[in-house]
Amino acid sequence: MILGIGVDAVSIERAGKLSGRTLEKIFNETELEEYKDLETAHPDIKAQFLASRFAVKEAYAKARGTGFCDIVVPNEILTAREEDGRPCVVLCGKTLDNAPKAAVHLSITHEKPLAIAMVVLESED
């Protein structure tokens, strides 16, 4: 059974302007390390990285039906990769503690000017 669906679109250009405490508030240490590894990449690639990860966080919060709040925290929602290369959502902290027992299906795409993510929460019961 589908518990929730969330979709979000983020401006790649706008995401490329994020810096400092804003980055730390939105992204977790793992994502920030991945972003730092892109130091020599083209600015568009770096901006796509940030925009797509932020879109995933927003889409997950929408699928939960809560938006960001004290139990769905942006920097506790991580975009990772399955062994086969598919993107997946990894939760930690309060966001994990309060997550429904559900499979999280994720799709991400980006084409200037937007990065788009879709999350479907499917009951494991």
For the question of residue 42 being annotated catalytic, the response is: no
The verdict on pTM exceeding 0.85 is yes
Domain housing 24: 2-123
**Gap between the terminal Cα atoms of the chain:** 8
For the question of residue 62 being annotated catalytic, the response is: yes
Q: What pLDDT, on the 0 to 100 scale, is given for residue 13?
A: 96
Residue 36's nearest CA partner among 56, 19, 12 is 19
As beta bridge partners, residue 47 has none
Overall domain count for the chain: 1
User: How would you write the pLDDT of the chain (125 residues) with one tens digit per residue?
Assistant: 999 999 999 999 999 999 999 999 999 999 999 999 999 999 999 999 999 999 999 999 999 999 999 999 999 999 999 999 999 999 999 999 999 999 999 999 999 999 999 999 999 77
CATH code, domain carrying 72 = 3.90.470.20
- Classify residue 2 as left (phi > 0), alpha (psi -120 to 50) or beta: beta
The number of angstroms, rounded, from the C-alpha of 80 to the middle of its chain's C-alpha atoms is: 9
Of 62, 101, 105, 112, the catalytic one is 62
Of 57, 105, 110, 112, the catalytic one is 110
